């Protein structure tokens, strides 16, 4: 089963974005987003036999501007995408890419070994690999039959 976060205002924001694009087309070519703003990242959480992987989309952010921490069973991802400034030689006609800071926290199950968590960033995707602790892994217990097998015979007619 895939968990998906419900956002009751998503449709309203999409409608607002559509209206803003319409007005931008009528009133000029300037973007409607001003300066910095908080933005959220999209992430996938994948459970495997021996680990849990988190893949977070963080395009356009320098790896040194990403902070990943684990404290009290909570994985926290923080980053900042700095605003690009205009120069005399260039002027933005449209500015839609989000800038600013973001923060995302995810409660971890107690089966995670926090000492062995690793992360890497490639092509705009941050991957956090969290191995499960050995003592917390699910153990398969074999069911043994004592006394061997016995055949049940029926009467012939």
Task: Transcribe 52-99 into DSSP letters.
Answer: EEEEEE-TT--GGGEEEEEETTEEEEEEEEPPPPPBTTB--S---S--
State the pLDDT at residue 30.
45
How many structural domains is the chain composed of? 1
Task: Give the pLDDT confidence of 70-127 residue by residue, as tens digits.
Answer: 998 899 999 888 877 777 888 878 877 777 888 889 998 888 988 899 999 999 999 9
Element housing 22 (H / E):
helix 10-27
CATH of residue 43:
2.60.40.790
Domain-located, residue 146: no
Task: Give the pLDDT confidence of 142-157 residue by residue, as tens digits.
Answer: 887 776 655 556 666 5
Which residues span the domain enclosing 124? 10-134
Domain-located, residue 56: yes
Task: Give the pLDDT confidence of 19-43 residue by residue, as tens digits.
Answer: 877 776 565 444 444 443 446 778 9
Domain-located, residue 157: no
State the pLDDT at residue 38.
46
CA separation for the pair 75, 118 (Å, rounded) = 12
Domain-located, residue 29: yes
Domain-located, residue 20: yes
CA separation for the pair 116, 129 (Å, rounded) = 9
The sign one gets for the Cα dihedral 26, 30, 36, 42 is positive
State the pLDDT at residue 95.
77
Domain-located, residue 124: yes
State the pLDDT at residue 35.
41
Check pLDDT > 60 for residue 45: yes
State the pLDDT at residue 100.
81
Domain-located, residue 153: no
Bridge-based pairing of strands 74-81 and 100-107 is antiparallel
Q: Which residue has the tokens 């004592």?
A: 146
Q: Is 118 helix (H, G, I), strand (E, B) or coil?
A: strand
Domain-located, residue 127: yes
State the pLDDT at residue 122.
93
The sign one gets for the Cα dihedral 105, 109, 113, 118 is negative
State the pLDDT at residue 4.
63
């Amino acid at each position: 089963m895939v968990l998906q976060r419900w956002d009751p205002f998503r449709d309203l924001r999409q409608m607002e974005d559509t209206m803003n694009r319409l007005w931008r087309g009528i009133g000029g070519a300037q973007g409607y987003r001003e300066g910095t703003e908080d933005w959220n990242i999209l992430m996938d959480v994948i459970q495997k036999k021996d680990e849990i992987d988190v893949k977070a989309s963080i395009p356009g952010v320098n790896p040194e501007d990403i902070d990943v921490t684990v404290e009290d069973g909570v994985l926290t991802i923080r980053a900042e995408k700095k605003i690009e400034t205009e120069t005399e030689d260039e002027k933005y006609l449209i500015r839609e890419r989000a800038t600013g800071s973001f923060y995302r926290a995810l409660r971890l199950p107690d089966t995670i070994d926090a000492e062995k968590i690793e992360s890497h960033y490639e092509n705009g995707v941050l991957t956090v690999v969290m191995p499960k602790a050995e003592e917390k892994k699910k153990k398969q217990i074999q069911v043994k039959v004592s006394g061997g097998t016995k055949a049940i015979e029926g009467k012939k007619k």
